[in-house]
């Protein structure tokens, strides 16, 4: 295999437990940062990221976890990794948004043998003016490869349209979390209102034949994260996950972890489970990697 691609990976949900324990002494990091199998929903899953946010408030911590993520990618066979984070969540101790991004960039740059890219996240629950500031930062910097919308899908994406229009005007590509907790309408909104070229998860698109046609026609990449999708009950089980059906139907299916720590996974673990559940072999994994290679944002 020529190497794996990870397009959907959150920095705050992918901090090594040993590093969290170091940065948060006295905290039971496994209990606080790894979502239990019965977590049951996206809004139940997201609070397990909070303990990492509490400690990722200094340049040293941010640089360290970015470097360790790149090292973990390399160990997991990843040759191209795109990490996403919301810099506005790392300013509690006084860091500027740019200083947060500088620290993450420096951490990634310290590791050789894996190409990396940065995506900035706007958040559904934040005021659209914050999203606009994040988009303006993303287009101004030359080390940001794309813009994302994350957070609780019970909230609409449309209020954040101005931020995404700014990205489009600057030629910055966009991905949007949709079709994980919410249904096909959230994916239509991501495509038609926010101009997404990739969809974070998107697994609930299977509910609409018209949407599947659109995703196929425009070669929109689906950033599926099978283990995370089972944890948040976007699907009831891995066997019920549409990843195999979507790949066979000719959609641009990709596989990522979402959160290596919160979802307790790796690409090695994801592909092992896909082999076991769907009988995937080298051919299926190669097609997934080709799909991802065709959908990268980072230059
Ligand atoms: N969806 C939305 N926001 C997130 C997720 C997710 O799966 N993981 C981390 N932040
Ligand atoms: Zn995600």
Q: Is the CB of 177 under 6 A from ligand 1?
A: yes
Q: How far is the CA of 150 from the centre of ligand 1 (A)?
A: 6
Q: Which ligand is nearest to the CA of 85?
A: 1
Query: Which residue is catalytic, options 6, 153, 180, 223?
Result: 180
* pTM, entire model: 0.98
- Phi/psi for 196 (5° steps) reads -65, 135
The distance of Cα 163 from the centroid of its chain, to the nearest Å, equals: 19
Q: With cut-offs at 50, 70 and 90, classify the pLDDT of residue 133.
A: very high
Structural domains in the chain, sorted by start: 4-293 (3.20.20.140)
Q: pLDDT tens digits, residue range 63-95?
A: 999 999 999 999 999 999 999 999 999 999 999
Residue with tokens 């495509």: 191
CA 9 to each of CA 14, 59, 116, 130, 250: distance values in angstroms, whole numbers, following the listed order: 7, 20, 11, 22, 24
Q: Of 8, 50, 126, 180, which is best to mutate to test ligand 1, by the most ligand atoms within 8 angstroms of its C-beta?
A: 180
For 135-164, what is the mean pLDDT?
97
Among 108, 119, 167, residue whose Cα is nearest residue 145: 119
Cα dist from 40 to 31, 239, 240, whole Å: 16, 17, 15
Average of per-residue pLDDT values in the chain: 97
Residue 43, exposed/middle/buried by CB under 10 A (0-12, 13-18, 19+)?
A: middle
| Tokens standing for residue 39 | 């977590």
Closest CA to 120 of 146, 152, 91, 98: 146
| Confidence at residue 249, expressed as pLDDT on a 0 to 100 scale | 96
Write down the pLDDT at residue 279.
98
């Amino acid at each position: 295999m020529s190497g794996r691609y990870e397009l959907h990976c959150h920095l705050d949900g992918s901090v090594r437990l040993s590093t969290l324990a170091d940065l948060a002494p006295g905290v039971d990091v496994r209990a606080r940062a790894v979502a239990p199998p019965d977590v049951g929903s996206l809004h139940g899953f997201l609070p397990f990221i909070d303990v990492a946010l509490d400690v990722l408030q200094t340049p040293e911590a941010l640089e360290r976890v970015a470097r360790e993520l790149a090292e973990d990618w390399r160990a997991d066979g990843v040759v191209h990794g795109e990490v996403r984070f919301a810099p506005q969540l790392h300013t509690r101790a006084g860091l500027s948004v740019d200083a947060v991004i500088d620290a993450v960039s420096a951490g990634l740059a310290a590791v050789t043998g894996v190409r990396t890219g940065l995506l900035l996240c706007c958040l559904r629950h934040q005021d659209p003016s914050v999203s606009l500031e994040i988009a303006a930062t993303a287009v101004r910097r030359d080390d940001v490869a794309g813009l994302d919308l994350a957070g609780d899908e019970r909230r609409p994406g449309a209020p954040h349209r101005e931020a995404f229009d700014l990205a489009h005007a600057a030629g910055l590509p966009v991905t949007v979390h949709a079709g994980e907790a919410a249904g096909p309408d959230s994916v239509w909104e991501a495509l038609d209102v926010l101009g997404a070229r990739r969809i974070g998860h998107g697994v609930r698109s299977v509910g609409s034949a018209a949407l599947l046609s659109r995703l196929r026609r425009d070669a929109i990449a689906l950033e599926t994260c099978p283990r995370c999708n089972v944890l948040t009950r976007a699907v009831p089980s891995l066997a019920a996950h549409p990843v195999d059906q979507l790949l066979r139907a000719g959609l641009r299916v990709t596989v990522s972890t979402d959160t290596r720590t919160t979802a307790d996974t790796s690409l090695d673990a994801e592909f092992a489970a896909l082999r076991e559940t769907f009988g995937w072999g080298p051919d299926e994994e190669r097609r997934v990697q080709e799909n991802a290679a065709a959908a990268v944002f980072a230059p």
